[in-house]
Structure 1
Amino acid sequence: MPITVRFRAVTVRSRAAVCLAVLAVAAPLALAVSPSSAATSDPVSVAAQPADGSTNVKVDGNRIILGDAPASMGSAEVKQRSGIANLAPVRFDAATSAVVVDYTAGTPDRSVAEVDVRALVKDQWTEWTPAPAGQPTALPKAGDQVQLRIIVIAPPQGGSPWVGDVSVRPTDKADPSRMEIQAAPLKSRVFATREGLVGGTTANGHVIVSRDHFVALPSRRGLSSAGSGNYSVKVCTATRCAFEPVWDVGPWNTKDDYWNPSSIREMWKDLPQGRPEAQAAYQNGYNGGKDQFGRTVANPAGIDLADGVFWDALKLTDNAWVDATYLWTGDGGRGTVSISSGYLNVRNAASSSGAVVGMAGKSAQVTVECQTTGQSVSGSQGTTNVWLRVHAGMYVSKAWISAGTFGAC
């Protein structure tokens, strides 16, 4: 029997949007944050409770409905109303490589309603994967804990989409081998543009501040919740690197997960892995030189950088080609930046007197190659003389990084 997710009749309003920003402010919604645990044959009900990560949705009985915040534009520059609801994690008896998610949905007036799923594997969440109703959905890796996310999007005027009667169960009917998980995270060279939009709201509900630290990628599959860095990137020039969470969707497209292999890429499956559709459209006339919305692509951008990343972390003065590594797409040592706001300096030596050669944003994940001893520093993780090498010739103090122990450099 499936594990069923049920909702109490509660109305919740919040700030933001999902693929493009919504500029209304209200309280967040989510559902119980602790995973339900029971035999897979026993239904598990999850009551509506306030928690982080859900924006611009209302709960009415067993349905999640798009909220009342007005339409707005984000990194993808398409004006829409949108919302997101993160549901409570569900734990199965044993690890599963695939699930079936059942639900009903209403999509009036050219609106969209979808459900995504991800799995928890070795304390890391896999990428979000769209889960068509009633069809087996392969997970990137097998796990005994999964989480569902509801996305609702609509034009500026018209009806509000909804999703209801949600249930999930493990299955052996999908072939997980098609996910082609790689050992190392994908690295690709892409064109970076500055997002700006200070005062606006990102796809996950974050209100953009001056010299902010986050990036936008053109797919919700790698979108972190506000304040989270589950999905982070390392962006490098020849001399500097930034580690930043993915908090917005764009540039140009919203369904271009170009970091994935063609077998699971949501659109543009004939393009090579690592090549954004906008780049192919701009350079080679792919798709008639247009994006998924039919707009003529004016630059080959595959990533947008918030101002603090663009100007301060990477010291860019104009749009430029960068090397981007999508950290969640493979294995490897990682830690999480544990600061209350702003950014952490990345230095060229294991000392606070070392030259700043990059930055890491709040909640971002950083790659960890090894650890070494250096200057003693006090931070959120205590006082320590351990420094982590996060890139060749680049270090951060472990006093500000939530991480395990690594081999010596």
Structure 2
Amino acid sequence: MARAASRTKRGRARLRLVLLAIAVIALGLWKIHDARRPGPWQRVVATREGLIGELTASGLIIRADSMFVALPHRRALGRMVEVRYRERAVVVPVLDVGPWNIDDAYWENDARPASEQGRGFFRKPVNAAGIDLSDAVFATLGLPTNDVVEWRFVHRGYVARPRL
């Protein structure tokens, strides 16, 4: 009788342990899935960064063929973004901080870029840009001049799907 009760307790303990392991694995898989989901789209004015030969905030010396963007907060550095303009789209890293501001993580709280309200860190903005595009990204997307683009954070290895 005592052996049977002991076996039952051990069986229940094993069952609890297995259920706990399944729950932990499911939670981990959900977190991975959630982290790989693209962020919400941001619709902002984009400008061409230019600055060939200059150094970005991440240490890159800008070349004419450098593919990157700049967002106005250091927390974005190193992350990947998908940028869309009309039917074209690219996925590139954030390698610089700007335009106009260095402390404006507008995407984190559903705000608009501070430059749209005429606020800049070093000087008053002359346009409402919320993202800077390297010359190569600007050309790849086919922007004729500063214009509104859509962008969002994506995971590394994400493949851009143009709008159909």
TM-score normalised to the size of structure 2?
0.73
- Offset of residue 274 of structure 1: 4.3
Residue 249 of structure 1 corresponds to: 97
- What letter is aligned with 2:44? V
SS at 2:99's partner residue?
Answer: coil
Question: Alignment partner for residue 70 of structure 2, among 216, 224, 228?
Answer: 216
Change (3 A) 1:306 1:202: same
Q: Distance in 1 between matches of 2:51 and 2:125?
A: 20
2-structure distance, mates of 1:184, 1:199: 32
Tell me: CA distance 1:232–1:198, structure 2 relative to 1, closer, same or farther (3 Å).
same
**Aligned residue among 111, 114, 119 for 1:290:** 119
Which residue pairs with 1:316 in the alignment? 143
AA partner of residue 258 (structure 1): Y
Q: 1:218 and 1:310 mapped to 2: Cα distance?
A: 18
Kindly report which structure 2 residues correspond to 1:87-106, keeping only aligned pairs within 5 A, or say none: none
* Distance in 2 of aligned mates of 1:296 and 1:189: 21
3-state DSSP of counterpart to 1:325:
strand
Matches within 5 A, 1:150-161: none
Unaligned residue ranges in structure 2 (runs of 5+) = 1-30
Relative distance call for 1:195 and 1:392 in structure 2 (3 A) is closer
Identify the structure with the greater strand proportion. Answer: 1
| Distance in 2 separating the partners of 1:335 and 1:291 | 30
Which residue of 2 is the match for residue 391 of structure 1? 161
8 A contact 1:186–1:274 mirrored in 2: no
Deviation at 1:205, TM superposition (A): 0.5
Equivalent position amino acid for 1:290 in 2: R
Are 1:259 and 1:326, in contact at CA under 8 Å, matched by a contact in 2?
no
Q: How far off its partner does 1:212 sit?
A: 1.5
User: What SS does structure 2 have at the residue aligned with 1:216?
Assistant: strand
Contact 2:42 2:150 in 1 (8 A): yes
- CA offsets 1:292-314 (integer angstroms, 9 cap, x no match): 33x22210000000010001x10
| Counterpart-to-counterpart distance in 1, 2:126 and 2:163 | 36
Letter in 2 for 1:206: L
Match of 1:301 in 2: 129
Counterpart in 2 of 1:275?
112
Q: Structure 2 counterpart of 1:209, which letter? A: R
Count how many residue pairs are aligned between Structure 1 and Structure 2. 133
Instruction: Determine which structure has more spread, i.e. the larger CA radius of gyration.
Output: 2
Q: Distance in 1 between matches of 2:38 and 2:90?
A: 18
> TM-score, normalized by length of structure 1?
0.30
Query: Whole-Å Cα distance in 2 between the matches of residues 335 and 222 of structure 1?
Result: 14
C-alpha distance in 1, partners of 2:33/2:59?
A: 24
Kept after mapping to 1: 8 A contact 2:55/2:61 = yes
How far the C-alpha of 1:203 sits from its partner, in A, is: 0.2
Q: Pairwise CA RMSD of aligned residues?
A: 2.3
Matches within 5 A, 1:36-47: none
| Aligned residue number for residue 8 of structure 2 | none
1:275/1:212 CA distance change after superposition, 3 Å: same
Could you say if the C-alpha distance between residues 218 and 393 of structure 1 is closer, same or farther in structure 2, counting changes exceeding 3 Å? closer
Partner amino acid for 1:317?
P
| Contact residue 214 and residue 244 of structure 1 kept, 8 A | yes
Tell me what 1:232 maps to: 80
Task: Structure 1: give runs of 5+ residues left out of the alignment.
Answer: 1-120, 127-182, 225-230, 262-272, 282-288, 328-333, 337-365, 368-389, 395-409
CA-CA distance at 1:238 after TM superposition: 1.4
